[in-house]
Amino acid sequence: MPVPKPADIANEKVTQSVFHTIGNSGNVAVYNVAGDWQGNEELASRIPLISLMSFKDNEDVQAHAISTLRNLAASSEKNKAAIVKAGAVQDIKELILGMPIIIQHEMTALVAVLALSDELKGQLLGMGICEVLIPLTNSSNSEVQGNSAAALGNLSSKDERHSSDDYSAFNDAWDKPDGGMHEYLSRFLSSSDGTFQHIAAWTIVQLLESGDPQLISGIRSSKLLKPNIQQLATSRPSSRSSSVSTPRSRNSGGEDAESGDDQREIQLLARKVLELVNGNTEPIIQSSVASGREDQELRQNVREAFSSSRSR
């Protein structure tokens, strides 16, 4: 009988640890460190699941670990903060562009959930996460595209805005990498996918409402964005597809009525963009109740879509 190598033993223990953690994810303490790692101060200072994000020897272990982190993040603000503090976002930034599609899918979904926290948005932006999310909005996989765009949208929005809010990360990423926020938003606005149109229009509203002069100027002067917004504001957009799964897209009944509602929401968002761009503040104030409901609904859809467990 061959003697197992130390690396094989370590891999087996790590694999057993992650699947034990996944199997009991409802009761996991985020900072619980596996007993097998005692004495290793570097590993003990990190959440075991985060270390497994770079476990390239087993793609399933990677995917399950990230999926579990996403579910933990969705369960509480405390977990979100702990996951970011343990270095998950920095690891994602360093790894994600070289990962297989399935891992990119899980990583972008995790970032989208973390970006829902108003307390963490500035920190995530300061880490330069936009630099990897923007290229992934042009991924060959539509779900990776949608997750990345949802993460950017979540980072741009805030339930309460303050004069001290820093949007410089979006200005820095306006034209780069890969055409930056500018090209990504234009591409999504002109997409045949209604979900992509909705995310882009909603994100532009968030950027305009930021009050950042440079962002507002960039959007107002854009020759790419305004024609697409005008078209969405005056015509019936395409029906939503299921690129980013939402409660609506998962329901089969009443699809025609829901499609009509989705189209009207996109149209309202596009009109709000034009009002903000043209400086027509009175109509915006009058429609704030309806638009606030739309913002809350999209945030809730994103929360439900990314916090729901995916069967593998």
pLDDT in tens, 35-46: 333 344 443 345
Map residue 33 onto helix, strand or coil.
coil
Confidence of residue 158 (pLDDT cuts 50, 70, 90): confident
Q: Which residue has the higher pLDDT, 207 or 53?
A: 207
- What pLDDT is recorded for position 48? 77
Residue 311 has pLDDT above 80, yes or no: no
Residue 6 has pLDDT above 60, yes or no: no
Q: What is the pLDDT of residues 109-125, one digit of tens each?
A: 999 999 999 999 999 99
Q: What is the pLDDT of residues 51-99, one digit of tens each?
A: 888 888 889 999 999 999 999 999 999 999 999 999 999 999 999 999 9
Mean pLDDT over residues 113-139, rounded? 97
* Highest averaged pLDDT of the listed ranges 79-88, 153-162, 272-281: 79-88
Percent over 90 (pLDDT), the chain = 58
Burial 72-95 (b: 16+ CB within 10 A, else e): bbbbeeebbbbbbebbbbebbbeb
Lowest mean pLDDT segment, chosen from 12-21, 79-88, 131-140, 289-298: 12-21
Is there a contact between 244 and 191 (Cβ–Cβ < 8 Å)? no
Mean pLDDT over residues 264-276, rounded? 95
What H or E segment, with its residue span, contains residue 120? Answer: helix 118-126
Q: What is the chain's mean pLDDT, rounded? A: 77
Confidence of residue 32 (pLDDT cuts 50, 70, 90): very low
- What pLDDT is recorded for position 247? 31
- What pLDDT is recorded for position 205? 97
- What pLDDT is recorded for position 67? 95
Residue 307 has pLDDT above 50, yes or no: no
Residue 213 has pLDDT above 50, yes or no: yes
- What pLDDT is recorded for position 245? 41
Tell me how far CA of residue 71 lies from CA of 106, 143, 164, in angstroms.
11, 18, 31
d(CA 309, CA 312): 9
Residue 260 has pLDDT above 50, yes or no: yes
- What pLDDT is recorded for position 181? 98
Residue 10 has pLDDT above 80, yes or no: no
Mean pLDDT over residues 192-197, rounded? 95
Give the global pTM: 0.75
* Highest averaged pLDDT of the listed ranges 89-103, 234-248, 271-285: 89-103
Percent over 70 (pLDDT), the chain = 66
Q: Which residue has the higher pLDDT, 189 or 289?
A: 189
- What pLDDT is recorded for position 282? 39
- Long-range pairs, 49-52, Cβ under 8 A, ≥24: 49/18, 49/21, 50/83, 50/86, 50/87, 50/88, 50/91, 51/14, 52/14, 52/18
